[in-house]
């Protein structure tokens, strides 16, 4: 069984709609367990893949998303070898998603 976390933040519900569609799509692919909810950084090690859904507010991702990775670093939670992906909802510029991508989440 493959464990996938879709971790997200959504203030007005747009990103959440995308997250639910992504989670449903992953579930359809087979023997995969998907959690689409907030998690403590220490729990990231339980997952084979971590997918981030983030809106863009004020040209950036949001504190909740940044904190997940900062806390993982502080707690020495290794993300090495995990599959990562990011997507986002935004109105015009979309730096939230690109910020995550540029920081290496998709490596």
Subset of residues 43 to 72 that bind ligand FMN, contact rule: CB under 6 A? 55-59
38 lines the binding site for ligand FMN (CB under 6 A): no
Residue with tokens 């983030």: 54
Q: Which of 42, 67, 78, 93 binds ligand FMN (CB under 6 A)?
A: 93
Q: Which of 28, 80, 92, 107 binds ligand FMN (CB under 6 A)?
A: 92
Tokens of 32: 């995969």
φ, ψ for residue 58, nearest 5 deg: 55, 50
Point out which span in 21-29, 39-47, 77-85, 88-96 binds ligand FMN (CB under 6 A): 88-96
**Closer to ligand FMN by Cβ: residue 4 or 61:** 61
Answer yes or no: are the C-beta atoms of 5 and 49 closer than 8 Å. Answer: yes
**Closer to ligand FMN by Cβ: residue 38 or 78:** 38
CA angle 20, 56, 35 (to 5 degrees): 25
Binding site for ligand FMN (CB under 6 A): 10-16, 55-59, 89-94
């Amino acid at each position: 069984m493959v464990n996938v976390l879709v971790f997200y933040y959504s203030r007005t519900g747009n990103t959440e709609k995308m997250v639910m569609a992504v989670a449903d799509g992953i579930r359809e692919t087979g023997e995969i367990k998907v959690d689409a909810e907030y998690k403590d950084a220490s729990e990231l090690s339980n997952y084979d893949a971590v997918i981030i859904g983030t809106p863009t507010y004020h040209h950036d991702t949001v504190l909740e998303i940044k904190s997940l990775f900062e806390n993982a670093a502080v707690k020495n939670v290794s993300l090495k070898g995990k599959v990562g992906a990011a997507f986002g909802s935004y109105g015009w510029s979309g730096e939230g998603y690109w910020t995550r991508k540029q920081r290496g989440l998709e490596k």
